[in-house]
Chains A and B, each alone.
Chain A
Amino acid sequence: MTDILNALVVFANFVLVPGASYGAQLALGALGITLVYAVLRFSNFAHGDTMAFGAMVTVLATWALQGVGVSIAPLPTALLALPAGIVATAAFVLATDRLVYRFHRRQHSQPVIFVIVSVGVMFVMNGVVRFIIGPDDQSFADGARFLVTAGDFKRMTGLAEGLAIKASTLLTLVVAVVVVIALFWFLQKTRTGKAMRAYSDNEDLALLSGVDPDRVVMIAWLLVAALATIAGTLYGLDKTFKPFTYFQLILPMFAAAIVGGIGSPVGAIVGGFVIAYSEVTVTYAYKRVLGHLLPDSLAPDSLVQLLGTEYKFAVSFVILVVVLLVRPTGILRGKVI
């Protein structure tokens, strides 16, 4: 019995808990991608770098706050700095919309032109972020590190294996839930949210009923800026802030959005967790779990790892391809593409 419990604890420690926070971060990122897709109708390649930009401003604001001694321990100071990041990112994306995307919207450029435009925006944001903060790892996490440490857990339960829960994991989940509830309340209940959904469903009909397209687009960018900044900051708090990793996140985030059904907010959340858990379970080495479950004579010598950790992006890609082949509209039937 204790063997099974030990195996479960190891599994929870290395798969369930980290997967939950990674899934929440991917879900928030995929929500931003899905919103752009639903309202502006293109795949935004600049989303990863938007996250990096938002997180960067938050990091700078956090350092400033830490510098003057502000602290909300045990919570990380970054939470206080978050609004600054959101405001700066909102200003940046609204400016790009005004200077860049609006022109192509008026021209009725093809979706693929918008994608190329977003590549241009990605270049600019990428350069700006590296120009300001450099390409290296930056640390800005403070406050409590762990809710439960492995040692505490072992003492409390008497098991051989420990379960550690990082404070950032709980924070990620709580913030993600709050953000998602707020977003859904906004989309379902408010007049603006309903206008957005109408515009996304049928642009012509929405225009006919007096929906102001410029306003819808503006609100969508504001939401995207907020989501990207929050997701980027949570990812940075949980792992570390490094500009290049945000570019690499676009593949799993796109995979999450498409797996869930692009254009569907619920789908983005489901997709985020599907991708995160697939990546973690496939790249996790099961040696210790099996060591507890199997009799000693059968205990594995190798790591029992399905795929090296370096290939986790391959997992999201394979899932993406399988979904595209088997069910092109995603699990939750997003927009028909």
Chain B
Amino acid sequence: MSPTWRGPILFAVMAAVLTGVGMTQSWSVALGIVNLCLISSIMALGVNIQWGYAGLFNVGTVGFAAVGGVAAVLVSAQPVREAWATGGAGLFLAFLAVAATVVAILLIRARIGRGRKRNLAVAAAALIGYFLARLAFDPAVDRIEAIDPALSGYLGGLGLPIVLAWPIGGLMAAGVAWLIGKVALGLRSDYLAIATLGISEIIVFIAKNEDWLTRGVKNVTGLPRPVPYEIDLQQADWFVARAASFGLDPMEASSIFVKLAYAGLFAVVLLALLWLSERALNSPWGRMMRAIRDNEEAAEAMGKDVTRRRLHAFVIGSAVCGIGGAMLTTLDGQFTPGTYNPLRFTFLIWVMVIVGGSGNNWGSVLGGFLIWFVWVEAEPVGRWLMDVLTSGMGEDNALRTHLLDSAAYMRMVLMGLILLLALRFSPKGLLPEKMRIGHRA
């Protein structure tokens, strides 16, 4: 297979497989998979900007996805006016205290030279600021969380259209990434990995526990949708008539229509990001990033500010992951902090990037589709396999029931094996990075 045709052929195979699911199972199932494939591909693009372009090992994708989810809540949930009225002032004071602390620390850093004295002063300022903020924050939070906890107990959001949450989620994730990058990017790659792992755990814990902001594990449900509701479609005459003309039952047709609408929106975002990523990769900026990735010392000797450039890639990639996170929450229609599992949202995305071909944007998209598909299908296939393997045993055999119940976990093993095999036998992935003549042999 010649390299030029490799991509189109693999994408065509993927499309054929998904069509096959649509024809044999149902179109609704196939489109459900496609929607999550699209979101996975966007997150994989984000990781690829960090790893494929710049060689940065970020294992905090789940945290940035959660930031995007929080953005969806903040932008589109209905505001809880009572909570704002009783707790808003306290929160504002706490915010002022934090801002004042940051200013104080910046002033200390500007006035006092490096050394023990400066460290002590910064620590003291941070500690005082923390207590002042807590003084205003705690009572406000108690009041907010006391308001009708079964239904609200949080501030709510701005009540704006949820599509706005996508760019805002990206911006919020970019802000968080900038903070981490400032601290960790000068260090060796292992440290960046540990720092991003840590911060993502903390973000997920915040989402789970700061009920005043996110309702915590009580979940925010009923977020608005960018697409029509199935029930409205089923009652619309034009839709029922149109579905009948295709020979479809209105129920099934409405489900397919909604999923198609989501797929359309997601595809637009994915294509836009893909176009931008390709432009970036083939620009002088992209060449510089690859030069830094491949030979840091040489790039530095040429006068490139390596840490600063890495910060760019880190912030942009994290923003893309944040957009993906906001889209995921949009698709779910609810924000459920308990579901942010690093294996699913960080390491699975990594498998997509490595298998697809790091450094190649199309590869990341292909990886996103392929790996999500395998992840989804591994469970029923595993169950079926176990069923066949243990069919000789009695129906209520303890081992048989255990194996059937545990079959779901085999997909973890499968994903690990795919990653290990890819790294060993095909480290460049399915669609290898394009090597430019004269750059590297």
Chain A residues close to B by CB (< 8 Å): 42-43, 45, 100, 103-104, 111-113, 115-117, 119-128, 130-132, 134-135, 247-248, 250-251, 254-255, 258, 302, 308, 310-311, 313-314, 316-317, 320-321, 324-326, 328, 337
Contact = CB atoms under 8 A, between A and B. Distances in A.
Contacts of A130: 406, 409, 412
10 contacts: A45-B193, A112-B190, A116-B354, A120-B416, A124-B417, A126-B412, A251-B201, A254-B194, A314-B205, A321-B184
B183 A321 contact: yes
Contact of A337 (B183, B187, B350): B187
A313 B417 contact: no
A209 B5 CA distance: 52
Contacts of B328: none
Interface of B: 55, 57, 59, 119, 138, 183-184, 187-191, 193-195, 197-199, 201-202, 205, 208-209, 342-343, 347, 350, 354, 405-406, 409-417, 419-420, 423-424, 427
Contacts of B197: 250-251
Contacts of A247: 342-343
B423 A113 contact: yes
A325 B123 CA distance: 13
Q: Give 6 nearest A-B pairs by CB, closest first.
A: A127-B412, A123-B416, A124-B416, A127-B413, A317-B198, A120-B419
A127 B419 contact: no
A251 B194 contact: yes
B406 A134 contact: yes
A317 B187 CA distance: 15
A112 B413 contact: no
A313 to B, nearest CB: 5
B378 to A, nearest CB: 10
A42 B193 CA distance: 12
A117 to B, nearest CB: 6
Given A112-B190, A119-B347, A123-B347, A131 B205 contact: no
B190 A111 contact: yes
Contacts, number: 133
Contacts of B195: 317, 320-321, 324
A112 B189 contact: yes
Nearest to A337: B188
A131 B409 contact: yes
A311 B410 CA distance: 31
A141 to B, nearest CB: 23
A154 B79 CA distance: 53
Contacts of B411: 127
B194 A320 contact: yes
A100 B57 contact: no
A326 B190 contact: no
Q: Which of A111, A124, A250, A311 has the most CB of B within 10 A?
A: A124
Nearest to A303: B138
A310 B424 CA distance: 39
Nearest to A252: B198
B9 to A, nearest CB: 27
A103 B424 contact: yes
A250 B59 CA distance: 13
Given A313-B202, A314-B202, A120 B57 contact: no
Nearest to B199: A317
Nearest to A113: B423
A116 B199 contact: no
Contact of B205 (A125, A311, A320): A311
B141 to A, nearest CB: 11
B311 to A, nearest CB: 16
B406 A119 contact: no
B290 to A, nearest CB: 15
Contacts of A255: 194, 198
B190 A311 contact: no
Nearest to A133: B406
A321 B201 CA distance: 15
A127 B350 CA distance: 17
A130 B415 CA distance: 14
B420 A131 contact: no
B413 A128 contact: yes
A297 B197 CA distance: 45
A96 B405 CA distance: 27
A302 B427 CA distance: 56
Contacts of B412: 123-124, 126-127, 130
Contacts of B416: 120-127
A255 B202 CA distance: 14
B413 A310 contact: no
Contact of B420 (A45, A117, A320, A328): A117
